[in-house]
Amino acid sequence: MRFFGPKLVSVIILMSTVLFTLTIYKDPYDHLKQFVNNKVVEHFFENQPCACPDRCLAAINDDFKERFRKDISPVLSLNNSELSGEINTWWQRLQSTRTKANYQQVIKELFAVIPGEGHYKDAGPHRCRTCAVVGNSGNLLESHYGPLIDFNDFVIRMNKAPVEGFEDDVGWKTTHRVMYPESAVHLDNSTHLVLLPFKMLDIQWVTSALTNGTIKRTRFKVIDKLQADKDKTMVMHPAFLYYVHTTWLNIKARRSYPSTGFLALMFALHICDEVNVFGFGANGKGTWHHYFEESPKRFKGTGHHSGGIETKIIKEMRERKIITQYTGWGARELVGGKELYPLTPRWDPGVKLLMRDQLQVKPYILLW
């Protein structure tokens, strides 16, 4: 029987060593901080919002806080499923056809299949959840980001982006895949399905796809019987889509809505303590394309998405160190076809990665 978890044992060892050092050697706290990794000690002596040594999203204190709404859950649950009239009107406008389905009945049927409790309510000084949001940009090619991506606790991918054959550049690990019915793929039992419900039929589809498979078409033919773990399935809240659309992007267009990539990033900001972004933006030639497709000769538009606005916001978050963005080798950031400034790679594939357990143990070895 395990009486103490590894984290508790580590805390006991560290605190015992600290007390021993303070008592026997009479070293002041400032000297002790020089002797050990400063950030590790600070997290024990000071009240930190999370356990990450580099930064915590909860600790950011600027006008970002005004837009970052912790009270808006990114995921639907039984207790938060109601929609205000304004949000429901906006959501209905996204739908190409009117539906006669009753929203409350659709929600009831959904949570008869997937868990209805809230998700990711465990934030606090004990948690350091690192997340990689992996976009589909061609700037991932020859980046060798794979090990760096897999080093994160959560690895969030989107739509049909493949891993096999691209592991060196995009990694192999996937904990969450954000998708909608028309972009769905089968998942293994270790991956969470995060559904983007751009229309009521999308919620009905996931209920059907995980059970009897009666819905075979939405806008066009879709997977009717989906391989995915019901217990790891969640639906992004329509209110969260509206919040990203109005508070972050401030889009006025009637039928415009955030891209899957931007929604995945905002999802990560609400459930993680540290967010690392890969595969967003143009490649080194200024071309927007997917890493798993042949590079097109012309600029690929963003459809109903406000790609330029999203790119500027991501740039702002990077400059404020809210996120860390890895942009590939020789990638360039373009907005409206104009280059903002050249981006340089931040990752040397020759650098040896230390496993997290080794990083945690290192301070204790130095003290002991």
Catalytic residue among 237, 242, 305, 326: 305
Tell me how far CA of residue 22 lies from CA of 30, 34, 35, 361, 366, in angstroms. 11, 14, 12, 21, 16
Going 344 to 350 to 356 to 362, the CA torsion angle's sign is negative
Q: What is the 3-state secondary structure (H, E, C) of 122-187?
A: CCCCCCCCEEEEECCEHHHCCCCCHHHHHCCCEEEEECCCCCCCCHHHHCCCCCEEEECHHHCCCC
User: What are the residues whose beta carbons fall under 8 Å from the beta carbon of 315, sequence distance 6 or more?
Assistant: 333, 340
Question: What residues are paired with 154 via a beta bridge?
Answer: 131
Task: Count H helices and E strands in the chain, helices first.
Answer: 13, 9
Active site residue 305: yes
Chain centroid to CA 19: how far? 39
Catalytic residue among 257, 270, 289, 326: 257
User: What are the residues whose beta carbons fall under 8 Å from the beta carbon of 183, sequence distance 6 or more?
Assistant: 158, 159, 160, 260
Active site residue 326: no
Report the b/e string of 227-262 with b at 16+ CB within 10 A: ebeeebbbbbbbbbbbbbbeebbebeeeebbbbbbb
Residues designated as active site = 257, 305
